[in-house]
């Protein structure tokens, strides 16, 4: 059910004034905060409600240091400084949970017929869920700093182990500071990026 459009203040929080942050103040992010965040993220749509994203919230100093050792030099300081950095992963065999998540029909064969197709679906939908994570964090008053620039094989081995889950991207969460921010970069115009057919 669609509701009324958000006002300018809400749009500013989610889009027009939101930025990618690189530095953080000392406001803690609690386990309760992370659970509240996930409870919003899980409501975002995915193919057949498959929900392939998996999340590891590197909250402790040890977990953040372990992750910092597997990211680029520029990103290591960000990971160490942020109160939490989440590893957004995806389960290529997400379809095994479809009897629970899509109970009205056996949807497993829609994806299990091809490992390549299932992995592509899982990657695409975990990317969607990662987007929901950023928007949900902003809606709850947190800032985010999504990142690429890491040793994927290393992160997979160190954090996911033999589960089969793979890493998509990482994202720091906390109360960002203005340090390191620069004027917003240009974006493509509608004419450069879109068509209406």
Predicted pLDDT at 101: 98
Category of 48 on φ-ψ map: left (φ > 0), alpha (ψ -120 to 50) or beta: left
The pLDDT-based confidence of 3 (bands split at 50, 70, 90) is confident
Query: What is the tens place of the pLDDT at every residue in 78-130?
Result: 999 999 999 999 999 999 999 999 999 999 999 999 999 999 999 999 999 99
Report residue 30 as tokens.
């609690």
Q: Is 164 left (phi over 0), alpha (psi -120 to 50) or beta?
A: left
- What domains are there in the chain, each with its CATH number? 24-171 (3.40.109.10)
Predicted local confidence at residue 2, as pLDDT: 77
Give the residue from 82, 48, 94, 66 showing the smallest Cα distance to 150.
Answer: 66
pTM of the model: 0.96
What's the average model confidence in pLDDT over 25-47?
98
The per-residue pLDDT for 65 is 98
Predicted confidence (pLDDT) per residue in 127-178, tens digit = 999 999 999 999 999 999 999 999 999 999 999 999 999 999 999 999 999 9
| pLDDT of 72 over the 80 cut | yes
- What confidence score (pLDDT) does residue 6 get? 96
Q: Cα–Cα distance between 72 and 150 in angstroms, integer?
A: 6
CA distance 9 to 21: 20
pLDDT 10s digits, 12-22: 999 999 999 99
Three-state DSSP state, 123: helix
Q: Which pLDDT does position 12 carry in this prediction?
A: 97
**Does 1 have pLDDT greater than 90?**
no
Token code pair at residue 115: 């490992």
H-state helical runs in the chain: 8-11, 31-41, 61-68, 73-81, 98-101, 108-112, 115-139, 152-155, 190-193
């Amino acid at each position: 059910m669609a509701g009324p459009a958000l006002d300018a203040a809400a749009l500013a929080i989610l889009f027009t004034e939101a930025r990618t942050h690189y530095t953080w103040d000392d406001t803690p992010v609690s386990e309760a905060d992370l659970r509240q965040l996930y409870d919003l993220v899980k409501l975002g749509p995915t193919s057949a409600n498959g929900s392939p994203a998996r999340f590891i919230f590197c909250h402790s100093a040890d977990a953040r240091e372990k992750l910092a050792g597997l990211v680029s030099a520029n990103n290591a300081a960000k990971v160490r400084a942020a109160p939490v950095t989440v590893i957004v992963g995806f389960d290529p065999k997400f379809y095994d949970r479809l009897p629970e998540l899509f109970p009205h029909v056996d949807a497993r064969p829609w994806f299990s017929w091809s490992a390549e197709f299932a992995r592509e679906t899982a990657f695409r939908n975990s990317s969607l869920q990662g987007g929901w994570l950023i928007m949900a964090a902003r809606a709850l008053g947190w800032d985010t700093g999504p990142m690429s620039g890491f040793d994927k094989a290393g992160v997979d081995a160190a954090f996911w182990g033999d589960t089969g889950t793979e890493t998509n991207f990482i994202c720091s969460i906390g109360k960002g500071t203005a340090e390191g921010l620069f004027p917003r970069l240009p974006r493509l115009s509608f004419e450069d990026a879109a068509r209406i057919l």
